[in-house]
């Protein structure tokens, strides 16, 4: 007979309590992994946006509604507010400005069959001045963009490059596709202002959008100029605008997710405390109920060390069992709900590549074990220090 046999027989015969402890650890590990993967997805998405959006300042109309401001800042482009296209010229003439590029939100096509998400944003942009969209292209299209050409975001995955896309009965050619950006670009179809003009001329209507307006202007400053100071000067040059500095934009985006992240952390903390308390409690009950068994083992020759190892092995098996089950369930949960999580949090990537995922799993597993260690060690230490004579008497 071995220590392991003794432990396994004990666990088999005390199934309910064993499963209860496994469940506590399962919840803790599973939640830890899910939270970590989700937070990493959010963080990566934000970082990616910050690194690649490129603009120092994004100019939007000042008098749009608060709700619309939030939507614009969140990258959802659900606003119907525009500003005069002349602002582009005014800002471009500023000494500190290196380049400017306008964008015009034309409309949203709901229930589009070209992408997984059900909303497709149609945006007019200027390829000549653009410095934030075409840099995401997977492959450069041959020649310049012609009238009728479009560039699609990464989520437009149900049609191949060179395929036809019908927007308001106007046939566009998908001339190129962007890399995944993690922001609204993925759901957008970019066309030139000439194409937009041609579409409107041929009867496509976009809520009476005027081509003399723009929705936002991306601005790159010359090196050495302070973005905050230049933003203030822009307001003087082009009244009625709201220049948002790129880092500030990301801060606003981040703060919108901060509530969720905070909630996840609080929930994780509560689950950890509960798991530790309940695991410790259940294990203490088990130790108490087994005082006579401990006394008997000590009387027949078990040392304190053996009793400690016995309870530690039992704890370790339960913890590893719960940890593995938690990891498996959590991974399955993340895999099957990834689309919902991604669309809810407006992030593009959730599950990391396999090596990264393995690292996350191992990390979370070890952290969960370390977190429940006090709850598992305390009863084992108590059991090993139990006076055998007292243990035999008290039960």
Contact set with another protein (CB under 8 A):
1-3, 5-6, 9-10, 12-14, 292-293, 295-306, 387-390, 392-393, 395
Q: Please give the Cα distance from 307 to 5 (Å, whole number).
A: 14
CA angle 123, 231, 103 (to 5 degrees): 10
Of 10 and 107, nearer to another protein (C-beta) is 10
Of 262 and 393, nearer to another protein (C-beta) is 393
Of 274 and 395, nearer to another protein (C-beta) is 395
CA angle 327, 332, 336 (to 5 degrees): 150
Task: Find the shortest distance in angstroms from Cβ 315 to another protein.
Answer: 16
Number of H helices, E strands in the chain: 12, 11
Residues in the chain, overall count: 395
- Are 150 and 125 within 8 A, CB to CB? no
Task: Find the shortest distance in angstroms from Cβ 267 to another protein.
Answer: 37
Of 6 and 381, nearer to another protein (C-beta) is 6
Q: For the purposes of burial, counting CB atoms within 10 Å of the CB of 22, is it exposed (0-12), middle (13-18) or buried (19 or more)?
A: buried
Of 183 and 391, nearer to another protein (C-beta) is 391
- Are 176 and 141 within 8 A, CB to CB? yes
Task: Find the shortest distance in angstroms from Cβ 292 to another protein.
Answer: 6
Of 9 and 205, nearer to another protein (C-beta) is 9
Task: Find the shortest distance in angstroms from Cβ 304 to another protein.
Answer: 5
Contacts (Cβ under 8 Å, ≥6 apart) of 124? 103, 104, 106, 190, 191, 192, 193, 195, 196, 211
Strand partners, 180: none
Task: Find the shortest distance in angstroms from Cβ 326 to another protein.
Answer: 26
Of 14 and 70, nearer to another protein (C-beta) is 14
Of 17 and 70, nearer to another protein (C-beta) is 17
The secondary element (H helix, E strand) that includes residue 269 is helix 246-289
Task: Find the shortest distance in angstroms from Cβ 295 to another protein.
Answer: 8
User: Pairing between strand 83-84 and 97-110?
Assistant: unpaired
CA angle 385, 390, 395 (to 5 degrees): 110
Task: Find the shortest distance in angstroms from Cβ 373 to another protein.
Answer: 24
Selection from 266, 357, 329, 332 nearest residue 40 by Cα: 357
Of 102 and 295, nearer to another protein (C-beta) is 295
Separation in Å, CA 31 to CA 245, 271, 324, 327, 340: 36, 8, 13, 9, 17
Task: Find the shortest distance in angstroms from Cβ 278 to another protein.
Answer: 23
Task: Find the shortest distance in angstroms from Cβ 291 to another protein.
Answer: 11
Of 379 and 388, nearer to another protein (C-beta) is 388
The owner of tokens 């919902």 is 340
Task: Find the shortest distance in angstroms from Cβ 24 to another protein.
Answer: 22
> CA Rg, the chain, in Å?
30
């Amino acid at each position: 007979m071995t220590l392991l046999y003794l432990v396994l027989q004990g666990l088999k015969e005390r199934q309910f309590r064993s499963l209860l402890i496994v469940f506590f650890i399962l919840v803790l590990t599973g939640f830890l992994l899910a939270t970590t993967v989700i937070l990493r997805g959010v963080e990566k998405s934000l970082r990616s946006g910050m690194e690649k959006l490129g603009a120092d300042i994004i100019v939007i109309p000042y008098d749009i509604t608060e709700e619309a401001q939030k939507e614009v800042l969140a990258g959802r482009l659900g606003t119907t507010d525009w500003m005069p296209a002349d602002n582009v010229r005014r800002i471009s003439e500023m000494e500190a400005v290196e380049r400017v590029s306008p964008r015009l939100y034309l409309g949203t096509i709901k229930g589009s069959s070209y992408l997984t998400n059900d909303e497709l944003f149609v945006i007019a942009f200027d390829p000549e001045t653009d410095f934030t969209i075409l840099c995401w292209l997977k492959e450069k299209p041959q020649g310049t963009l012609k009238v009728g050409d479009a560039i699609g975001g990464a989520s437009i995955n149900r049609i191949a490059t060179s395929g036809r896309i019908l927007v308001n009965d106007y046939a566009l050619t998908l001339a190129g596709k962007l890399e995944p950006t993690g922001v609204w670009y993925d759901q957008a179809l970019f066309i030139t202002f000439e194409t937009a003009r041609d579409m409107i001329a041929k009867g496509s209507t976009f809520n009476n959008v005027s081509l003399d307006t723009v929705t936002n202007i991306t601005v790159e400053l010359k090196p050495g100029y302070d973005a905050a100071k230049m933003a203030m000067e822009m307001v003087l040059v082009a009244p009625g605008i709201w220049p948002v500095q790129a880092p500030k934009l990301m801060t606003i985006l981040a703060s919108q997710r901060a509530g969720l992240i905070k909630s996840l952390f609080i929930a994780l903390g509560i689950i950890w405390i509960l798991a530790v308390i309940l695991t410790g409690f259940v294990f203490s009950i088990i130790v108490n109920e087994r005082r006579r068994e401990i006394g008997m083992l000590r009387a027949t020759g078990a040392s304190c060390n053996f009793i400690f190892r016995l309870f530690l092995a039992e704890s370790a098996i339960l913890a590893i069992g719960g940890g593995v089950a938690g990891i498996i369930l959590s991974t399955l949960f993340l895999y099957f709900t990834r689309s919902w999580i991604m669309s809810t949090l407006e992030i593009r990537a959730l599950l990391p590549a396999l090596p990264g995922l393995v690292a996350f799993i191992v990390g979370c597993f070890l952290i969960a074990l370390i977190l429940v260690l006090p709850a598992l060690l305390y009863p084992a230490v108590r059991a090993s220090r139990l006076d055998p004579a007292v243990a035999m008497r008290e039960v």
